[in-house]
């Protein structure tokens, strides 16, 4: 016991508090999770009971149809009375539907053997009906049918079908009973965990609280008082700064924080000023970009080729400037934990081609061939921010491609309904990526070359922020043929669409891996 107490006291203050207060929470999480799993087992067992009953009923119905076919066939061949063919024809049509329904019921069965038996039942039934139909199709059907009946061929097939149906029913019951046994076992274990875990958790939590209260309450009070003095812009003294435990480390850290507070406040002020400038620049830049767009539209037929090219270049430059300012604002918003998204429905393939058109001057300068594989695909996302992601990725590929090389953009939409996901890959034929830098490739502090006219050098970091806000992933890898591949994967559907600019869902941005393992 003394050894446990000494080990506990030698932990950091944060570890002590986490261990004490996380214990009841962890116990609650474990019990709740296990209770939910137990309830799911019971619900699954109930579903399997109903499912088993449906399979059994369908198997009985199948046998009834089979007996009706046999009786109608034998009755007609033995008596010559064609009235026996009416129930035979009706059952012949219904047994096929019964087989499809039985196959549907066992389609999600955990037993492959059960599904195989149903397929075998259908195959034998088709063979049985084909033999009977072959006899009935001849003019001398009665003369040929009587020997067939006496041979017992039909009875053998029908008996095989019945045996398989019985096995299907028995296995359905066994699956249900096994699931029920698992649910009962989990319920018993849950009761034991609740009783024993509650007592143990209360005991350990109470003991930990007493130990922590005795060892850190007074030093923490002193540190709280010092923190209050710092908050009131007064100079604080830390009497425990010479201690070698976690309290001493914290005291020395607070002394260092007190020295750096002034410079930190100045840096925060400069950040706010820079962001304010970027915000103020956005409005006139948007006006310039829209004005140039209108000018390009109205004067397209009135200007010479060089003049049209000049207006087009000015329009492209304005669009890039707006995008760069917007990236700066997005980085500022992400620094405060949220990035608002504006969801709209749009054609992803059209946006890809717009990005290629935007970067045509750079592509032409390097004599690159850009290949786009993008079938028509409508998704729901923040179009403006995905546009910037594509600009950054294509610009990165263009910069790192050798003169005269190829760049490929591959777009695909996978899945159906709410599970649809849009995947975009940008591939180049450059030197590839340094494996040691893959983990930091999408970070804000990675080494960058000089900024280009496309952005500020933080393009990949901005891409990660936008993709993470869409609940997606982005990664980079080296191609086996040489060069690099940048890929992002985002949901193609959302439950609610907000078409108002910058008023979409607020999303906490989490760090995403730079590459897949």
State the pLDDT at residue 501: 39
E strands in 382-505 = 406-414, 421-427, 473-478, 484-491
Query: pLDDT higher for 194 or 38?
Result: 194
Contact status, residue 505 vs residue 498, Cβ threshold 8 Å = yes
Residues near 237 by Cβ (< 8 Å), separated by ≥ 6? 226
Ranking 161-170, 178-187, 334-343, 455-464 by mean pLDDT, the lowest is 334-343
Is the pLDDT confidence value at 188 over 70? yes
Contact status, residue 322 vs residue 454, Cβ threshold 8 Å = no
Three-state SS at 222: helix
Question: How far are the Cα atoms of 2, 52, 111, 118 from residue 179, in angstroms, in the given order?
Answer: 47, 12, 13, 22
Contact status, residue 52 vs residue 173, Cβ threshold 8 Å = yes
Query: pLDDT higher for 501 or 158?
Result: 158
First vs last Cα of the chain: how many Å apart?
44
- 0.75 cut: is pTM over it? no
CATH-assigned architecture of domain 13-199: Up-down Bundle (1.20)
Three-state SS at 233: coil
E strands in 275-432 = 338-340, 344-347, 369-373, 378-381, 406-414, 421-427
State the pLDDT at residue 469: 87
State the pLDDT at residue 321: 61
Task: Look over the chain and give the mean of its residue pLDDT values, rounded to a whole number.
Answer: 74
Ranking 42-51, 309-318, 414-423 by mean pLDDT, the lowest is 309-318
Q: Residue 23 half-sphere exposure, CB side, CA atoms within 13 Å?
A: 19
Q: How many angstroms separate the CA atoms of 180 and 186, rounded?
A: 10
Is the pLDDT confidence value at 418 over 90? no
pLDDT tier for residue 12 given thresholds of 50, 70 and 90: low
Is the pLDDT confidence value at 82 over 50? yes
Is the pLDDT confidence value at 488 over 70? yes
- pLDDT 10s digits, 401-410: 999 999 999 9
Q: Domains of the chain: which residue ranges?
A: 13-199, 259-335, 337-508
- Strand 369-373 and strand 406-414: the pairing is parallel
Q: How many angstroms separate the CA atoms of 280 and 284, rounded?
A: 8
Q: How many angstroms separate the CA atoms of 126 and 242, rounded?
A: 90
Both tokens assigned to 466:
């936008």
The correct CATH number of 337-508 out of 3.40.718.10, 3.30.565.10, 3.10.450.50, 3.40.190.10 is 3.30.565.10
Q: How many angstroms separate the CA atoms of 103 and 115, rounded?
A: 7
Q: How many angstroms separate the CA atoms of 457 and 438, rounded?
A: 16
- pLDDT 10s digits, 490-505: 999 876 554 443 333 3
pLDDT tier for residue 460 given thresholds of 50, 70 and 90: confident
Q: How many angstroms separate the CA atoms of 312 and 161, rounded?
A: 76
Both tokens assigned to 228:
């209050």
Task: Encode 254-315 in three state secondary structure.
Answer: HHHHHHHHHHHHHHHHHHHHHHHHHHHHHHHHHHHHHHHHHHHHHCCCCCCHHHHHHHHHHH
State the pLDDT at residue 314: 59
pLDDT tier for residue 124 given thresholds of 50, 70 and 90: confident
The answer for 417, left when phi > 0, alpha when psi is -120 to 50, beta otherwise, is left
Query: pLDDT higher for 386 or 203?
Result: 386
pLDDT tier for residue 240 given thresholds of 50, 70 and 90: low
Contact status, residue 96 vs residue 59, Cβ threshold 8 Å = no
């Amino acid at each position: 016991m003394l050894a446990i107490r000494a080990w506990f006291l030698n932990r950091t203050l944060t570890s002590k508090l986490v261990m004490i207060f996380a214990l009841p929470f962890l116990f609650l999480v474990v019990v709740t999770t296990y209770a939910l799993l137990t309830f799911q087992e019971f619900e699954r067992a109930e579903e399997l009971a109903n499912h088993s009953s449906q399979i059994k009923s369908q198997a009985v119905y199948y046998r009834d149809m089979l007996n009706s076919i046999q009786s109608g066939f034998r009755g007609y061949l033995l008596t010559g009375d064609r009235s026996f063919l009416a129930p035979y024809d009706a059952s012949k049509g219904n047994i096929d539907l019964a087989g499809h329904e039985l196959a549907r019921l066992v389609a999600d069965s955990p037993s492959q053997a059960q599904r195989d038996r149903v397929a075998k039942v259908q195959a034998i039934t088709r063979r049985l009906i084909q033999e009977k139909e072959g006899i009935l199709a001849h003019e001398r059907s009665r003369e040929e049918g009587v020997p067939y009946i006496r041979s017992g061929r039909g009875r053998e097939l029908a008996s095989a079908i019945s045996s398989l149906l019985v096995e299907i029913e028995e296995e359905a019951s066994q699956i249900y009973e096994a699931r029920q046994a698992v649910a009962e076992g989990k319920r018993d274990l849950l009761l034991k965990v609740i009783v024993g875990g509650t007592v143990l958790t209360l005991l350990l939590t109470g003991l930990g609280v007493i130990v922590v209260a005795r060892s850190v309450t007074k030093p923490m009070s002193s540190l709280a008082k010092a923190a209050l003095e710092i908050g009131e812009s007064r100079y604080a003294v830390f009497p425990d700064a010479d201690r070698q435990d976690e309290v001493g480390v914290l005291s020395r850290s607070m002394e260092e924080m007190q020295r750096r507070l002034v410079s930190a406040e100045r840096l925060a002020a400069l950040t706010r000023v820079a962001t304010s400038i970027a915000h103020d620049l956005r409005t006139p830049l948007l006006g310039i970009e829209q004005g140039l767009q209108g000018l390009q539209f109205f004067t397209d037929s009135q200007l010479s080729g060089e003049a049209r090219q000049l207006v087009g270049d000015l329009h492209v430059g304005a669009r890039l400037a707006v995008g760069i300012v917007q990236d700066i604002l997005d980085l500022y918003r992400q620094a405060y934990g949220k990035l608002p998204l504006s969801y709209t429905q749009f054609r992803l393939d059209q946006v890809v081609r717009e990005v290629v058109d935007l970067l045509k001057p750079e592509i032409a300068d390097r004599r690159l061939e850009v290949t786009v594989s993008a079938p028509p695909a409508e998704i729901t996302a923040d179009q403006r921010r995905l546009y910037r992601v594509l600009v950054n990725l294509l610009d990165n590929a263009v910069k790192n491609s050798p003169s005269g090389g190829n760049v490929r953009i591959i777009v695909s939409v996978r899945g159906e309904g709410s599970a649809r996901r849009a995947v975009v890959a940008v591939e180049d034929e450059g030197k590839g990526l340094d494996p040691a830098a893959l983990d930091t490739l999408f970070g804000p502090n990675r080494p960058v070359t000089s900024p280009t006219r496309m952005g500020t050098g933080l393009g990949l970091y901005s891409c990660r922020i936008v993709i993470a806000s869409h609940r997606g992933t982005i990664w980079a890898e080296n191609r086996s043929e040489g060069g690099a591949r940048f890929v992002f994967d985002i949901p193609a559907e959302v439950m609610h669409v907000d078409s108002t600019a910058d008023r979409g869902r607020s999303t906490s941005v989490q760090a995403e891996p730079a590459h897949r393992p």
